[in-house]
Amino acid sequence: MKKDSKIYIAGHRGMVGSAIWRKLSAEGYTNLLGKTSKELDLRNQQAVNTFFESEKPEVVIDAAARVGGILANNDYPYQFLMENLQIQNNLIDFSHKFDVEKFIFLGSSCIYPKHAPQPLKEEYLLTDSLEPTNEWYAIAKIAGVKACEAIRKQFEKDYVSLMPTNLYGSHDNFDLQTSHVLPAMIRKFHEAKENSEPVELWGSGSPMREFLFVDDLADAVWFALENELPENLYNVGTGTDLTIRELAELIQKITAHTGEIIWDNTKPDGTPRKLMNVDKLKNEGWTASTPLKEGIRKTYQWFLESKNGYKQVKI
């Protein structure tokens, strides 16, 4: 890939898109293109058509999506299904129509069946029913994966789908109503420390989860950009997991909270385990490099400096 190729990063202001922008800039790419949602509504077919007609990007990276945790998925199923379909369909279709040769589609590990064997392999896609709490988002993302696969099969274009595990990092969402477990814990432990209070968490703490620092995902996107991968779908993760209880204890230590952790066993645990098999991408030459402890420290520092205006502290 030429360093001056015009690369459009959809969703460049979000956690994933901004990490990709930072990575590509650091690698010397000089012609990056981004539009805010106010400048370009990706749900609007005509607006996206006009954008592609005028800008003519050579590469498109789709990091744009409506995302959220279990509560948000449960409360807004139609929006999570329809808006994600609209966004990705417009990007994929007009990329194809305007001869974009390289397209990188980003999804989520939730595309895999709820009861698929662990660790999750790419071949398990569409072999069983989905997790009900996020099936609307998952169905949209599966449609995107299959659309890219269809273009790859029919037109032999380099359209590839990367499915990351649970992501965290700078520019994450720390809203307790809509955030995912790791950023929610960072906020809970920090505020409990500030108020000298215990932290109450859902469930037993026994489920196991895998977490990927968002800058590592950006590195995987750069790897996919620099290489022509032989298949259409790749998992992106660390290949290792830990219990939610272990995660809580790690975040408690990093945030310097010294109070009690109270586990509310009346609340659901969710899926017992969710771990990605990352052998396919590893065999192509890519692996994650950021240890979880280091990634959480960096994320907490960003939370203190940027998200809530707290005074910078050394951690």
Please enumerate, by residue number, every residue annotated as part of a binding site for substrate: 188, 202, 209, 269
The values of phi and psi at residue 181, to 5°, are -65, -45
Of the candidates 164, 182, 142, which has an alpha carbon nearest to the alpha carbon of residue 288?
Answer: 164
Measured CA to CA in angstroms, residue 249 lies from 122, 182, 185 at distances of 31, 12, 10
Please enumerate, by residue number, every residue annotated as part of a binding site for NADP(+): 11-17, 106-109, 141, 164-167, 180
Tokens of 225: 């950009």
Cα distance between residue 168 and residue 180, in whole Å: 9
Task: Indicate left, alpha or beta for 204 from its phi (over 0: left) and psi (-120 to 50: alpha).
Answer: alpha
Of the candidates 246, 247, 244, 248, which has an alpha carbon nearest to the alpha carbon of residue 189?
Answer: 248
Burial (CB < 10 A; 0-12, 13-18, 19+), residue 259, is middle
Cα distance between residue 222 and residue 227, in whole Å: 9
Catalytic positions, please? 137
Cα distance between residue 282 and residue 237, in whole Å: 10
DSSP per-residue letters across 5-30: S-EEEETTTSHHHHHHHHHHHHTT--
Measured CA to CA in angstroms, residue 279 lies from 116, 120, 121, 241 at distances of 17, 10, 9, 15
Please enumerate, by residue number, every residue annotated as part of a binding site: 11-17, 106-109, 141, 164-167, 180, 188, 202, 209, 269
Cα distance between residue 42 and residue 197, in whole Å: 43
- Give bridge partners of residue 33 from the DSSP assignment: 8
Cα distance between residue 69 and residue 136, in whole Å: 12
